[in-house]
Chains A and B, each alone.
Chain A
Amino acid sequence: MQTPFENRIYPFAAIVGQEKMKSGLILNIVNPAISGVLIRGEKGTAKSTAVRALADLLPEIAVVDGCPFQCDPDDPDHLCALCKERIAKNERLERKTRKVCVVELPLSATEDRVVGTLNLEHALKQGERKIEPGILAAAHRGILYVDEVNLLDDHVVDVLLDSAAMGVNTIEREGISFCHQSRFTLVGTMNPEEGELRPQLQDRFGLCVHIEGLNDAKDRVQIIKRRAAFEADPEGFWQQWKKSSEEIAERIGRAIDRYWAIEDDEQILYAIAYRSIEAGVDGHRSDIVMLKAAKVLAALDDRGRMTLDDVAKAAELVLPHRMRRLPFESIGPAKQQPIPTSPRG
């Protein structure tokens, strides 16, 4: 969509502070099975900037050229129906390499745009049912980004839950019956002041980070300076940060390569289980994600083993939004807002 030289995005490496958020995002790039990160924080804390900046860091994947469902040419068993049809017709599936995409789900998206629907024009003109793939098709093997995820329409949330759970999107609407893979990393940002997320959806985010505006004056000045520099000369600024960006990308690449070489250490597994039991979380998703996150942390550090420290760090990202709460109790270290309780005067 974006050609490399126009519309430079603010480089990820140039974001000041917010280490937790950055680490949450990077963990997900290394292992998408961590299944996403929920970024909770006030307005203007670089949430969206960071997500958009990911585009530069993402690894490349192979896709079938022209396939709206992002099929993997190296996995012939799981091709979509359209690709299978092409093979049946003896067409060759062209292979294409591209970066992992960040697909944005706008709040105004209607359910049929998200799931996919009947292509009405084609239907009326040609008298054929043809599928119009939705956002879930575009997001397969990529990142699905929802800004203000807590304001998302309820139906859309239900549909998201459905496919996020199983990695499959089943379309049954307007005469279309279709089923395709849709595994995506769900990245959501939200401002808790505007309402909480449904617990079910919350649980689908592998990790959760809280961010606050930086309080250090030096940092704040730094932010202003960098932002000004970027706006004055996006290209120059991008070049200036190119090296740091590449370093991060390389580090991610190395971590991806060594991830599976890291052992599932008995002691670590028990440490993870005990943490979940202690926290009294619902279900087992926390255990599964905690292991993956700890492993990525070890991989990013070029270590062959996980340490208890990795587990502790992973737990910080995995547990806070999963702790069992009384109905509507607030999550984690959210600040207690001063609440006007008495009539003025």
Chain B
Amino acid sequence: MLNVQTGRPSVFPFVAIVGQEQMKLALTLIAVYPAIGGLLIRGQKGTAKSTAVRGLAELLPGDDGENSKHFVDLPLGATEDMVVGTIDFEAAIRYGESRFLPGLLHRAHGGILYVDEVNLLDDHLVDCILDAAESGVNRVEREGLRVQHPSRFALIGSMNPEEGELRPQLLDRFGLAIQVSAEDSADNRVQLVRQRERFDRINGAFVASYHPQTEALAQRIASARKRVQQVKVPSYLLGFISEICRSNNVAGHRADISIERAARAHAAWLGNDQVSAEDIQQVAPMALLHRARQGTPPDLPPPPPPPEDDLEQDHPEEQNENQPDRDSEPPEPQSNDDGQDRGEQQQAQGDRQESRPAPAPEKPRDRTADEHDGEVWEIGQPFRVRSLTSEKDHKLRTGSGRRSRSRCSNKHGRYVRSTTLRRNNDLALDATLRAAAPFQLVRRKTSAPSLAVHIRESDIREKIRERRMGNVLLFTVDGSGSMGAQKRMVETKAAIMSLLVDAYQKRDRVALTVFRGCEAEVVLPPTNSIELSSKLLAQMPIGGRTPLSAGLCRTAELIEQVRRKDPLSRPIVLLLTDGKANAAIGDKPAHIEALEIAVQMQGRYPFTRFIVVDTEPPGAVRLKLAQKLAVALGADYFEPQTLRAQQLIDLVKENY
């Protein structure tokens, strides 16, 4: 019964996976109780994330194995119509019927929908999936169809955070989240490699050798599945759950619900009829990892002691929706030794989960003798930047990336409307059929009778789609001597570095212009190579006067150059300066000249978004010259601190 799906290679058995206990537990809980609401697995590459998830598929109770209905794989290349469902092409052309062809959301109903690399999925697809996941219903209003069908599924996503983060809104939608990393112990690694090599050698036999264990696990999941509905949560523990959420400053009530459900699944998995404090302590970190405020490891208060009179007492009316009033049952912060211990253990685990490879500590380098030409400052600690996009327009672009919304001419993106222009073989069937409809009677007499609908070249309509794309980011950086004061360059470089990391994740192209001394120079022409620009950034020296106008002129040339190459591109200019100018090109005072040029640039390049990042150090006397420059450019004005994406701002910004 295992592995009958057509064309699939044998899957590495779930039970043969070495280590990764938390991931295995979390997946098991989802299998036991899909209503937990999905699982997000975050981790480095090569940590058996997808192997485990696909292994899990084999454990799910399928109907007959054929086309395992309970596990649906959503490939990154999936088109929107295949996800939500679309008009049935065959039925339309053959029989002239407008029939609904169900999509992946229909197939996933009652089972699990798996998205590998979920952070790379197109935003509009994510929205469709979330809508369905939230409401349990998939509503289709497209191509002349109006259909709705139930679509309740557990969403499992896996991702590597290096490639970009998920929107917080989406994060919250996952019931549980875990962080996986490679096994540290050599013993486990050896064991793992040995398993893998055996699997590669005797594929089928290897899978078969684990068959008894796999069957046993599947049985255990199946019986836990039956039991989970009956598992009860004693009322004193409901207060414990909300206390956990409250002490971790979790927004909203989803965490409470996830913990409650996951704890019930855990109890059912252990064969119990009632949730214990241990169950909650086991699952709470998974519900908090992605919801707690960044940087704070999940912190578990000690569990309350059970009420003395009754352990067996049922509270059937409270087990599900009824969240008790948050303040009504404050758990006594009593030091139950055992519980305390566990709490600490969890916390330690949390600590480890949060740790990431730390970037180099910020420390300005001392001036060395050989750097006669300028000083080189190190890069400060990078941070996550707020979202910067260019405005939406109606131009058609090819390309990819994830920054600004745009019309696009490859087959990605949301279908917004149709056109008669034939550009890329992206058939809009509904529009095509509508165009062909009036002529059917006439054509039926003349062409092949086997088809219900006769379509001519002239009927064909194509889809116009819209999606996010990367931009060209032009960094123009003040490299004058004044930037060396008070570590400002360290902070400025940190800001640029953060913007570069963001640019990588949104797949932008970047260019770097530096102005100092008596001229401005493009040290890096527009390139995809963000690591190259970061290398340049690290080595960028500073010193000399501030030729702000020269910097602006050079940037203007770059804008022209970028537009010549791609007339539709919308560059984003990031100007990092304190706005002080002391070297002019012409005869006017330097700062007046710079402002004049800025005004001209704003008028000349309406398609360009300007952003000024003020590098003037915070202090008593601030000249705020950069702010004036920003006004002249029509630019958005930031200080390095405001550039940081605080979570709240982020939430607002990213939810449009």
- Report A's interface with B, CB cutoff 8 A: 33, 69, 77-81, 84, 110-112, 115, 120, 123-124, 127-129, 151, 153-155, 158-159, 161-162, 165-177, 179-181, 183, 193-196, 198-200, 203, 260, 264, 266, 269-270, 272-274, 276-277, 281-288, 291-292, 324, 326-330, 339-345
Contacts and interface: CB of A to CB of B under 8 A. Distances in A.
Contacts of A112: 411
Interface stretch (B85-93, B307-315, B594-602): B85-93
Nearest to B116: A162
Contact of A172 (B43, B78, B501): B78
B120 A277 contact: no
B76 A162 contact: yes
Contacts of A282: 44-47, 182
10 contacts: A129-B90, A172-B78, A173-B78, A199-B45, A199-B160, A199-B162, A200-B163, A283-B46, A284-B183, A328-B534
Interface stretch (B3-11, B263-271, B557-565): B3-11
A196 B529 contact: yes
Given A111-B411, A155-B400, A195-B528, A166 B186 contact: no
Contact of A179 (B7, B359, B410): B7
B45 A285 contact: yes
Given A195-B529, A283-B47, A162 B117 contact: yes
B162 A200 contact: yes
B285 interface: no
Contacts of B82: 172-177
B568 to A, nearest CB: 17
Contacts of B120: 158
B523 interface: yes
A270 B357 contact: no
B73 A170 contact: yes
Interface of B: 3, 5-10, 43-48, 50, 54, 73-79, 81-83, 86, 88-90, 93-94, 101, 104, 116-117, 120, 160, 162-163, 182-184, 186, 189-190, 192-194, 196-197, 200-201, 204, 357, 359-360, 373-374, 382, 400-401, 410-412, 425, 427, 450-453, 455, 497, 500-501, 504, 507, 516-521, 523, 527-532, 534-536, 539-541
Contacts of B455: 124
Contacts of A264: 193-194, 197
Of A129, A155, A193, most buried by chain B (CB within 10 Å of CB) is A155
A154 B508 CA distance: 11
A120 B518 CA distance: 61
A33 B197 CA distance: 10
B534 to A, nearest CB: 4
B427 A120 contact: yes
A128 B75 contact: no
Nearest to B373: A342
Given A112-B411, A260-B201, A276 B189 contact: yes
Nearest to B80: A173
Contacts of B534: 327-328
B89 A129 contact: yes
A151 to B, nearest CB: 8
Of B7, B120, B186, B527, most buried by chain A (CB within 10 Å of CB) is B7
Contact of A341 (B73, B196, B497, B541): B541
B77 A111 contact: yes
Contact of A272 (B89, B193, B204, B427): B193
Nearest to A344: B521
Contact of B89 (A84, A115, A123): A123
Contact of A343 (B8, B79, B500, B518): B518
Contacts of B190: 266, 269-270, 272-273
Contacts of A172: 74-75, 77-79, 82-83, 104
Contacts of A342: 373-374, 541
Contact of B77 (A128, A162, A165, A166): A162
A141 to B, nearest CB: 11
A80 B8 CA distance: 8
A168 B8 contact: yes
A153 B400 contact: yes
A292 B81 CA distance: 42
Contacts of A176: 82
A203 B45 contact: yes
B410 A111 contact: yes
A37 B602 CA distance: 49
A81 to B, nearest CB: 5
B157 to A, nearest CB: 13
A329 B497 CA distance: 12
B90 A127 contact: yes
Contacts of A168: 7-9
Given A154-B507, A162-B75, A166-B54, A195 B532 contact: yes
Contact of A170 (B75, B94, B162, B527): B75
B515 to A, nearest CB: 9
Q: Report the 8 A-B pairs with minimum CB-CB distance, sorted nearest first.
A: A283-B46, A195-B529, A328-B531, A285-B46, A282-B44, A273-B189, A172-B78, A127-B93
A181 B7 CA distance: 6
Contacts of B162: 199-200
Contacts of B86: 175
B117 A161 contact: yes
A341 B539 contact: yes
B77 A120 contact: no
Contacts of B539: 339, 341
B6 A79 contact: yes
A99 B48 CA distance: 32
B46 A203 contact: yes
Contact of A286 (B10, B43, B46, B527): B46
A165 B523 contact: no
A79 B54 CA distance: 19
A183 B523 contact: no
A268 B252 CA distance: 52
A287 B192 contact: yes
A173 B9 contact: no
A339 B535 contact: yes
Contact of B182 (A111, A196, A284, A343): A284
A288 B193 contact: yes
A197 to B, nearest CB: 10
Contact of A154 (B43, B401, B531): B401
B647 to A, nearest CB: 21
Contacts of B94: 127-128
B359 A327 contact: yes
Of B9, B46, B357, B427, most buried by chain A (CB within 10 Å of CB) is B46
A342 B516 CA distance: 9
Given A154-B400, A155-B77, A170-B75, A195 B193 contact: no
A77 B6 CA distance: 8
Given A158-B76, A158-B117, A284-B193, A270 B186 contact: yes
Contact of B9 (A181, A193, A269): A181
Given A84-B6, A158-B77, A199-B162, A284 B535 contact: no
Contacts of A266: 190
Contact of A159 (B75, B184, B518, B535): B75
Contacts of A158: 76-77, 117, 120
Contact of B516 (A274, A291, A343): A343
Contacts of B93: 123-124, 127
A264 B197 CA distance: 9
Given A327-B534, A339-B539, A159 B76 contact: yes
B531 A81 contact: no
Given A283-B46, A292-B200, 19 more contacts: A77-B3, A81-B7, A84-B6, A110-B410, A111-B410, A112-B411, A127-B93, A162-B75, A166-B9, A168-B7, A169-B75, A172-B104, A174-B79, A324-B357, A328-B504, A340-B523, A342-B541, A343-B516, A343-B518
